[in-house]
Copies of this chain bind each other. A is one copy, B any other.
Amino acid sequence: MKTYCFAEQKIILTEEARIHPSDIGLTRGYGIFDFFRTVNYRPLFLEDYLDRFINSASHTHLPLSYSKKELTEIIGMLIDKNDLKQGGVRMVLSGGVSANHFSPAEGKLFIFCEDLLLPGEEKFRNGVKLITEEYVRPLPTIKTTNYSQAVFSSITWKEKNAEDVLYFHKGLISESSRSNIFIVQKGRLATPQSNILNGITRKNVLKLVPETEVRDITLEEVISADEVFMTSTTKRLLPVTQIDDHIIGNGKPGPLTLSVLENFKAEEAKSSN
């Protein structure tokens, strides 16, 4: 089926989108993006995602020539044109073609509609494994396209049958490569406060469970937690049952994880009506 995207300031066939390869988005890996889902044709938590995208552009000195209102209109048109009932929308802003091949310039904006790649049902039933890696994403609070280290490491995760990575630094955990992390200790949720992307799913879990502690969390605490889960746009809440060689809790998805996941799904359904 033909899909359409927003590129060169208009809606065109996705296969016809192009960018010049001397854009520093490619030659220097300098750009920003964001990604959200549609539920029943509605962009879920759109306001939050657009605020973050606009903030990422501003922090990285990349001019974005569309307002939040204009972006909302373009996204609405794209969802219609692609009949995107349940899907993903990816916004990308490149660093631009720069005279010195280095400094931020005026980039290109692309908005793509994509099929969703959701975790299989068995991952929610059995939980997933993470492997630890000492690393802090540069500019962790900004949604840059800088995933070079994670893409490289992903070859190792796969060899070890892991879903993803758990980053830590100086003994404190931060996040996974594209997800936030929560732990459950004696019935109470906690999530790291530093060196993380402020995930929109994380934000909504914090709304659902406002008594969650937002604080520093050590690697030891995670390994000995009763439950661990990761949050992201495509994963919602995904139970983590193993970290390196350590089994979390009894090795099965925990009751609080599954209960918050049900509440999140109910919230999501409400938002899309």
**A155→B92 contact, CB < 8 A:** no
Binds B, one of A96-104, A181-189, A193-201, A235-243: A96-104
- Minimum distance in angstroms from A170 CB to a CB of chain B: 12
**A60→B104 contact, CB < 8 A:** no
In the complex, which residues of chain B have a beta carbon less than 8 angstroms from the beta carbon of A14? 22
Q: How many copies does the complex hold?
A: 2
**A147→B110 contact, CB < 8 A:** no
**B23→A26 contact, CB < 8 A:** yes
Binds B, one of A28-36, A39-47, A71-79, A207-215: A28-36
Bound-state Cα–Cα, A100 to B114, Å: 10
A10: CB under 8 A from chain B? no
Binds B, one of A121-129, A138-146, A217-225, A249-257: A138-146
Q: A18-B21, A94-B21, A152-B139 are in contact. Are A30 and B147 (CB under 8 A)?
A: yes
**B103→A148 contact, CB < 8 A:** no
Bound-state Cα–Cα, A7 to B26, Å: 14
9 contacts between A and B (CB under 8 A): A17-B22, A27-B92, A28-B148, A29-B145, A29-B148, A60-B152, A101-B117, A102-B150, A103-B155
**Contact surface of A with B, Cβ cutoff 8 Å:** 7, 14-15, 17-31, 33, 60-61, 90, 92, 94-95, 100-104, 108, 110, 112, 114, 117, 135, 138-139, 144-152, 154-155
What 8 pairs across the A-B complex have the smallest Cβ distances? A29-B29, A146-B148, A18-B18, A138-B149, A28-B147, A30-B151, A19-B21, A29-B145
